[in-house]
């Protein structure tokens, strides 16, 4: 099972974590991946100074902007499913 986690701390919230979460939820639902992805959120991942929202895929942290969340999901999450 793929571990997918989005930071919802103050800095990431301002950077658009809600949009990233919505995009990921849409992809998970459209592709019926609820039983293959453990999708959760976390408070501060200590990535506040980096650009974008902190997203962890199997404990590897990435920076994702809300407008690129769909592309990120396809490129980084789908190959692990």
Going by their DSSP bridges, the two strands 2-7 and 53-57 should be labelled as antiparallel
Question: Which of 47, 28, 53, 30 lies closest to 39, judged by CA?
Answer: 28
Residue 30, Cα to own-chain centre: how many angstroms? 16
pLDDT of residue 18: 98
pLDDT of residue 22: 98
pTM for the whole structure = 0.96
Helices and strands in the chain, H and E counts: 3, 4
Q: Quick: pLDDT tens for 11-67.
A: 999 999 999 999 999 999 999 999 999 999 999 999 999 999 999 999 999 999 999
Confidence of residue 7 (pLDDT cuts 50, 70, 90): very high
* Domain enclosing residue 31, as ranges: 2-80
Confidence of residue 8 (pLDDT cuts 50, 70, 90): very high
CATH number at residue 54: 3.40.30.10
Instruction: Count how many domains the chain has.
Output: 1
CA distance 77 to 73: 5
Which tokens hold the place of 30?
A: 């459209």
């Amino acid at each position: 099972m793929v571990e997918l986690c989005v930071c919802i701390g103050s800095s990431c919230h301002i950077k658009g974590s809600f949009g990233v979460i919505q995009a990921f939820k849409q992809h998970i639902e459209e592709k019926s991946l609820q039983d293959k992805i453990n999708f959760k959120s976390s408070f501060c991942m200590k990535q506040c100074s980096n650009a974008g929202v902190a997203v962890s895929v199997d404990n590897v942290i990435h920076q994702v902007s809300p407008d690129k969340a769909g592309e990120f999901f396809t490129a980084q999450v789908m190959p692990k499913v």
